Homo-oligomer: A and B are copies of this chain.
Amino acid sequence: METREFEALLRAKTEELNRLIEPYLPPEEGWQRTVAEAMNYSVRAGGKRLRPMLMLETYRMLGGEGTEIEPFLAAIEMIHTYSLVHDDLPAMDNDEYRRGRETTWKVYGDGMAVLAGDGLLNLAFETALGAFGRVDRSDPAALGRVAEALKVLAGNAGINGMIGGQAADIEAEGQAGSVTEEQLRFIHRHKTGALIAASMRVGGILAGASREQLDALEGCAQDIGMAFQIQDDILDVVGDSAELGKTVGSDRENQKQTYVTLFGLERAKELVEELSEEAVHKYLDGVGREHEFLEQLILMLAGRRR
């Protein structure tokens, strides 16, 4: 697929996802208007909707054709967004800008930003639970798939998933010299990998994937997550602040252990390449359906193409 074709497809799919997500955002009215505004400001800050995109592409690759995926698309984006809102808080990373806009707490205050994050996490589950209304209520198997997808979503977002990675990351701060590769791998796998894995697994589960297919999706997602995170470490060293829309060099400033400080820039780049190759050719090809866009998306996520 040519770059121009891929980029046009990517834009179209991002817009499709924005249309699908929008109806699940809260109305900005009543006494809770401000918190709803803060939630919407955070979600509408944009981005490419990569997690719901992975979810939807996986679902379609495996033959999924229903609408019960839609609430899950909104839910995974809400979970991703809330994690950024809380991450940016003065109590956490104290970031004032993201994607070139002021962060939620800068605009609404940090108390309201705590609540907006809580609101988004909670709304993610309220929203995803709506998927029960999109399947045949007299069909226990369909109900079971929705329940299973909800469990994967919740499990991967929690302390054995994303939150666990964030907590380990906080603890690793400042102790750069003594952070081990094992610890760093845990942080990356959980902080970033868990939601990517949830995206692909939920797509697979709802489409009725087999156990083997779900295992392959998990392996693929773990590789993508790791490659994505190492790429992030690399960009913090070699990237351009204006182009990325965020500060670079902050890892060094914060004395943060990264794959670059552990292995050097060249080896880190090799690792990204190896992981993305494995994601596509060891795992994704085995799932065995047409997936050209998904493959290109994975390469992009792994920083191999823009």
How far, in angstroms, from A91 to B151 measured CA to CA in the complex? 31
B-facing mask of A73-117, CB < 8 A → 1, else 0? 000000000100010011110000000000001000111111101
How many residues on chain A are close to B (CB under 8 Å)?
59
**For the complex, is A122 an interface residue (Cβ under 8 Å from B)?**
yes
**For the complex, is A32 an interface residue (Cβ under 8 Å from B)?**
yes
Whether B129 and A151, one on each chain, are in contact in the complex, defined by CB atoms closer than 8 angstroms, is yes
A159: which B residues are within 8 A, CB to CB?
Answer: 26, 32, 35-36, 39, 119, 122-123
**For the complex, is A183 an interface residue (Cβ under 8 Å from B)?**
yes
Contact of A154 (CB < 8 Å), options: B91, B126, B167: B126
B-facing mask of A139-160, CB < 8 A → 1, else 0? 1100110010011001101111
Contact of A110 (CB < 8 Å), options: B39, B91, B129: B91
**For the complex, is A224 an interface residue (Cβ under 8 Å from B)?**
no
Min Cβ gap A182→B in Å is 9
Whether B115 and A114, one on each chain, are in contact in the complex, defined by CB atoms closer than 8 angstroms, is no
Contact of A122 (CB < 8 Å), options: B90, B147, B157, B183: B157
Closest A-B pairs by Cβ, 6 of them:
A35-B167, A32-B164, A91-B110, A31-B168, A122-B158, A126-B154
Name A's B-contacting residues (CB within 8 A): 26, 30-32, 34-36, 39, 82, 86, 89-92, 105, 109-115, 117-119, 121-123, 125-126, 129, 132, 137-140, 143-144, 147, 150-151, 154-155, 157-160, 163-168, 170-171, 183, 186-187, 190
Whether B147 and A129, one on each chain, are in contact in the complex, defined by CB atoms closer than 8 angstroms, is yes
Whether B119 and A118, one on each chain, are in contact in the complex, defined by CB atoms closer than 8 angstroms, is no
How far, in angstroms, from A119 to B151 measured CA to CA in the complex? 15
